[in-house]
């Protein structure tokens, strides 16, 4: 599986990123994959490579590139609850500095970059994200409705911007929530927002999960939930990026 580290031109300077794609010299639909708050690291590279194996060009940007190349923090191999608070104390200033204006500027650069890659097929793209990356994916899809055909967000604060982004979506969605992040009542409110906006797709709470359940290198990891994530993500991509 070919992979490479890239430099993406942005208004704030070059942003490093990781890309994985199938071998063979053909063009493939693109997926822009936003990492969680701990950023671009081995587990995200592994997930990108796994997704690429299904026939996609997968681009994972370093979302904190304004603070230096990845990794901006020295992370342990396993992010346990004992180290999580200290790590987030250092990450929060970077997360807060990544304003909606920065997000949209970078998103436009990432999408433009994909059009230049010889491995990427013409046509719509998908965006997916984890934790804060899911919110970035939502903002990207809302800002580029003619370009983004699919949006998948996992254990993400998708309500952070209120209902406005959903009213701009044309993408088909899968929103997966941790049991510890969203109550059934909050899910019902979100579902009403999606219905009012005419958004098609699914929104569900994954049972017995806590925030971060897809990330194999954290204490929140839940193997059945990660598989459920693939079971929902792959058909969504097939339906939107490979129409029959």
* First CA to last CA distance, the chain: 26
And the tokens for 7? 């430099």
CATH number at 17 reads 3.40.50.1820
Considering only residues 236 and 24, tell me which one the structure prediction assigns the higher pLDDT.
Answer: 236
User: Which whole-number Å values give the CA distances from 165 to 38, 94, 169, in the listed order?
Assistant: 24, 23, 7
Tens of pLDDT along 124-149?
999 999 999 999 999 999 999 999 99
Contact yes or no for 126/241 (Cβ under 8 A): yes
Domain count, the chain: 1
Which letter does DSSP use for residue 13 in this model? S
Q: Give residue-wise pLDDT tens across range 204-220.
A: 999 999 999 999 999 99
Its domain, for residue 156, covers 3-241
């Amino acid at each position: 599986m070919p992979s490479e580290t890239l430099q993406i031109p942005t208004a704030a300077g070059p942003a490093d990123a990781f890309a994985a794609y199938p071998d063979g010299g053909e063009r493939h639909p693109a997926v822009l994959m936003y990492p969680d708050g701990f950023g671009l690291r081995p587990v995200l590279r592994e997930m990108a490579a796994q997704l690429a194996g299904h026939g996609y060009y997968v681009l994972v940007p370093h979302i904190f590139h304004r603070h230096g190349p990845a990794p901006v923090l020295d992370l342990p191999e396993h992010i346990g609850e004992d180290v999580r608070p200290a790590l987030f104390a250092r990450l929060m200033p970077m997360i807060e500095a990544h304003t909606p204006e920065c997000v949209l500027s970078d998103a436009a650069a990432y999408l433009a970059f994909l059009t230049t890659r010889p491995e990427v097929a013409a046509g719509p793209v998908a965006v997916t994200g984890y934790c804060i990356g899911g919110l970035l994916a939502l903002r990207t899809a809302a800002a580029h409705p003619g370009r983004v055909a699919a949006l998948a967000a996992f254990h993400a604060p998708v309500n952070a911007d209120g209902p406005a982004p959903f009213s701009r979506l044309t993408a088909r969605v899968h929103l997966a929530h941790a049991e510890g992040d969203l109550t059934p009542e909050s899910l019902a409110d979100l579902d009403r927002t999606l219905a009012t906006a005419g958004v098609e797709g699914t929104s569900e709470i994954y049972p017995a999960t806590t925030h971060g359940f897809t990330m194999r290198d954290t204490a929140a990891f839940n193997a059945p939930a990660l598989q459920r994530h693939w079971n929902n993500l792959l058909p969504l991509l097939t339906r939107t990026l490979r129409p029959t």
